[in-house]
Amino acid sequence: MKITTKYILRSIVFNSFLMLFVLSSLFALFDLIAEFKNIGTHNYSFLSVLIFVGLKIPVYINSTLVLAISMGVILALGSLVDSKFTIILQSSGVTKKDLIKQVIFITFFISLILTILGELSANFSEVSSKNYKNSQLGRFTSSKQFSNFWIIEGSSIYHFDKNLDGRTIQGFTKYDFDNKDLVSIHSSDKAIFDKDKLLIAPGEKLTLGQDGNFTILEKQPSKSEQINYFLDSEVVANLQLKPWDLDLIDLIKQINYLQDSGVNSSSFVIDLYTRILKPFLTLVLVYLAIPFLLSYKRTMSIGNRIFFGFVLGLTSKILIDMSNIISLRYDLNHLFFAISPILILLTLGFLLNSKFSKV
Give the model confidence (pLDDT) of 276-309 as tens digits: 999 999 999 999 888 877 765 555 677 777 788 8
Does residue 192 share a domain with residue 90?
no
- The DSSP annotation for 165-203 comes to SSSEEEEEEEEEEETTEEEEEEEEEEEEEETTEEEEPSE
For position 225, what pLDDT does the model report?
45
- Half-sphere exposure of 81 toward its Cβ, with a 13 Å CA cutoff? 21
Does residue 214 share a domain with residue 95?
no
Q: What is the domain range of residue 214?
A: 147-240
**Residue 46 near residue 38 (C-beta atoms within 8 A):** no
251 belongs to a structural domain: no
For position 337, what pLDDT does the model report?
94
Does residue 119 share a domain with residue 16?
yes
Angle, CA of 262, 263 and 268, to the nearest 5°: 130
142 belongs to a structural domain: no
- Mean pLDDT, rounded, for 25-50: 92
197 belongs to a structural domain: yes
Does residue 164 share a domain with residue 123?
no
- The DSSP annotation for 37-104 comes to GGTTSTT--HHHHHHHHHHTHHHHHHHTHHHHHHHHHHHHHHHHHHTTHHHHHHHTT--HHHHHHHHH
**8-17, 143-152, 180-189, 229-238: range with lowest mean pLDDT:** 229-238
Q: Which amino acid is it at 203? A: G
**20-24, 219-223, 343-347: range with lowest mean pLDDT:** 219-223
Q: Kindly report, residue by residue over 154-192, the tens digit of the pLDDT.
A: 788 888 887 676 677 888 888 888 877 788 888 888 887
Higher-confidence residue of 85 and 34: namely 34
Does residue 133 share a domain with residue 151?
no
Q: Is 166 left (phi over 0), alpha (psi -120 to 50) or beta?
A: left
For position 237, what pLDDT does the model report?
56
**What residues does 156 pair with on adjacent strands?**
153, 176
Does residue 331 share a domain with residue 227?
no
Domain count, the chain: 2
Distance in angstroms between the alpha carbons of the first and the last residue of the chain: 28
297 belongs to a structural domain: yes
The overall average pLDDT reported for the chain is 80
249 belongs to a structural domain: no
pLDDT band at 256 (very low <50, low <70, confident <90, very high): confident
pTM above the 0.75 mark? no
Does residue 194 share a domain with residue 97?
no
